[in-house]
Structure 1
């Protein structure tokens, strides 16, 4: 089950995205496969996008979907996640913690 996020993420969109993820998880029956979030189409990520990723991760865990796997994370968003310290707690492909 993959939630595809495109466009600009504003604070106003965050509850909509969480509701969509909850809906997808309910439809999938919370299968053994972890929920995924495809972020390839996100443009001009800022702290609202970071908030969205954090809240989507919490939504997935609370709904029984396990950890949220992030896919195709734009470099700008990856940098923001690293700066705020979320890259090491998110399922972020290619992130190595420390030396």
Structure 2
């Protein structure tokens, strides 16, 4: 997995944009977080308004998995520690489903725009919603054969 920030050098008024490509892997997470830290500490990061979003284009990610979800959660944490938010762009359907399943779709700023060849999928709070719904619903009692 690799990242670059091409917009940072071309247009001083454009938001910071990370482009993440390739297969997901935990080892790249530290490098990506360090890169985001340096971008936010540089003149580009200082020029952003408080709470401004850092855009992360994940359209080129191959084989999204929970390792990628962890990396994105860590990037969101770095952005928040610096008074910014992380917003994902062009997330493939598999990644959208994983983020929804673990309840991180809102935490990592999943936008409604899907990848180039996909339709936007509705988002909920994933497993959290299902657990809450099940708690309020009476469960069917399984009869005890000894009764």
Contact 2:96 2:105 in 1 (8 A): yes
Aligned equivalent of 1:47: 66
Taking structure 1 as reference, are residues 84 and 19 closer, same or farther at Cα in structure 2, changes over 3 Å only? Answer: same
Q: Give 1:96 deviation, angstroms.
A: 4.3
1:79 corresponds to 2:97: yes
Give the number of equivalent residue pairs: 97
**Partner secondary structure for residue 37 of structure 1:** strand
What is the CA deviation profile of residues 1-57 of structure 1, one whole-angstrom value per residue up to 9, with x for unaligned ones? 101111012111110110111111122133123211110111001000000110000
Select the residue among 29, 34, 39 that pairs with 2:45.
29
| Structure 1 residues without counterparts, runs of 5 or longer | none
- Normalized against structure 1, the TM-score is what? 0.88
Question: Highest Rg: 1 or 2?
Answer: 2
CA distance in 1, matches of 2:108, 2:20: 17
Gaps of 5+ in 2: 1-15, 113-121, 126-147
TM-score, scaled to structure 2? 0.61
4+ residue runs over 3 A deviation: 95-98
Counterpart-to-counterpart distance in 2, 1:47 and 1:78: 11
Give the conservation status (yes or no) of the 8 Å contact 1:46–1:80.
Answer: yes
